[in-house]
């Protein structure tokens, strides 16, 4: 389940009981997150502490949300990235693209 809370003008998103961001769930999650980036001036912070695995579809969704945020002048950050997800981000060199908090 995706939980969305607004804190100080930023949307904080956490993924409860979602250990994987993959082809099965990434498009649905992407559409929810892109809607949040269209609200100009807001920030989007994804808490990835529960995510242990990300496949290519998951990375594509993260990149699509990132691009939408940039187009809409919305900040986009990843926080509390699990060790497993961080290793995957480093492997595909997206740790250099995304802002990690």
The CATH number that applies at residue 63 is 3.30.750.24
Residue 41 has what pLDDT?
Answer: 62
Q: How many domains does the chain have?
A: 1
Domain that includes residue 61, residue range: 2-100
Q: Pick 1 or 39 by higher pLDDT.
A: 1
Residue 40 has what pLDDT?
Answer: 60
Burial class from Cβ neighbours inside 10 Å (0-12, 13-18, 19+) for residue 66 reads: buried
Average pLDDT, integer, range 33-58: 92
What percent of the chain clears pLDDT 90, i.e. is strictly above it?
89
Residue 9 has what pLDDT?
Answer: 85
pLDDT confidence tier of residue 80, bands split at 50, 70 and 90: very high
Which structure tokens are listed for 27? 């498009």
Q: What is the dihedral of CA 16, 17, 23, 29, to 10 degrees?
A: -20
- Cα-trace Rg, the chain: 12
Strands 43-47 and 20-21: unpaired
Which structure tokens are listed for 17? 């009981």
Average pLDDT, integer, range 3-28: 94
pTM of the predicted structure, to 2 decimals:
0.94
């Amino acid at each position: 389940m995706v939980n969305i809370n607004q804190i100080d003008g930023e949307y904080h998103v956490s993924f409860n009981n979602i250990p994987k961001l993959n082809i099965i769930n990434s498009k649905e999650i992407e559409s929810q997150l892109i809607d949040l980036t269209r609200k100009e001036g807001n920030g989007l912070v994804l808490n990835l502490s529960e995510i242990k695995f990300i496949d290519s579809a998951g990375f594509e969704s993260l990149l699509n949300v990132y691009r939408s945020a940039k187009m809409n002048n919305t900040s986009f950050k990843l926080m509390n990235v699990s060790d497993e997800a961080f290793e995957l981000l480093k492997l595909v060199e997206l740790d250099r693209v995304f802002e990690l908090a």
